Structure 1
Amino acid sequence: MYKFEIDDKEKVLHITAEGFFKNDESTEFMEALYEIFGSIQATEYDLIVDLIHLNVIKQDLVYRIADAFELYDELGFRNIVIVNPISILAKVQLFNIARSVHFSGTFVDSLEEWQPR
């Protein structure tokens, strides 16, 4: 499950994803992501992706996460913050994916750890 929230006042796009992503759900997520990104000026917004309740990522969906990380970077958000999953295995998977695409975002264990620059 996932949801998107845009806070135009604070200039924050908040994405929450949790549980196990299925292949059809990952396709819907990416389509919704493109639609949301078309409605905001990314360079004026912070992106917060809360993955605290995300479970292990199925191997056949790793490329979708990699695509999302690359897209986040390409759009030029002011700041990109990923809230780490509780699951250690999912956290390791995300770090490996991020490293493979040279992701520039910041990983934190809670949103309180992050301070906007």
Structure 2
Amino acid sequence: MYKVEVDSAKKAVKATISGMLNMDEVKNYLAEMNSVCSKVNPREYALIIDAREQKAMAQDAMPFVEKIMKFYTETPFKRRFSVMLESAIAMSQVNRVGKSEVDLFEMVSSVEEAYVKL
């Protein structure tokens, strides 16, 4: 499951991802992120990724996970935050497909911590 929200007052795009997403869900998530970010000026917005309840992804979804990671870094967000994942396996997958992208995020322990740093 995923949810993408725009907080215009705090100038943040927040994405919450939980569970194990299949390939269709990953594709839909990428399309929704593209749609949401086309309606705001990313240079004025922070990106907050809350995927701490994300599980490992299906192998066939991994090419789209790579595209998502590139989207996160190629979109000129003002700042990027990621809440640390609870699943070591999911974190390993993310690091494997997007190590250079992961390094561009400020790691936080909660969404609230990201909002405080805005």
> Structure 2-normalised TM-score?
0.86
Does 83-92 or 5-14 show the bigger shift?
A: 83-92
Q: Name the CA distance, whole Å, in 1 between partners of 2:6 and 2:18.
A: 18
Structure with higher strand content: 2
Is 1:21 aligned to residue 40 of structure 2?
Answer: no
Q: RMSD of the alignment, in Å?
A: 1.7
Q: Which consecutive unaligned segments of at least 5 residues does structure 2 have?
A: none
Q: Which residue of 1 aligns with 2:89?
A: 89
Tell whether the 8 Å contact from 2:84 to 2:108 is kept in structure 1 after alignment: yes
Q: Name the CA distance, whole Å, in 2 between partners of 1:82 and 1:18.
A: 14
Q: Name the CA distance, whole Å, in 2 between partners of 1:74 and 1:110.
A: 24
Q: Name the CA distance, whole Å, in 1 between partners of 2:57 and 2:84.
A: 13
Q: Which residue of 2 aligns with 1:33?
A: 33
Shift, 1:68, TM fit? 1.0
Q: Which residue of 2 aligns with 1:51?
A: 51
Q: Which residue of 2 aligns with 1:116?
A: 117
Shift, 1:20, TM fit? 0.8
> Structure 1-normalised TM-score?
0.87
Task: Number of aligned residue pairs: give it.
Answer: 115
Q: Name the CA distance, whole Å, in 1 between partners of 2:113 and 2:41.
A: 25
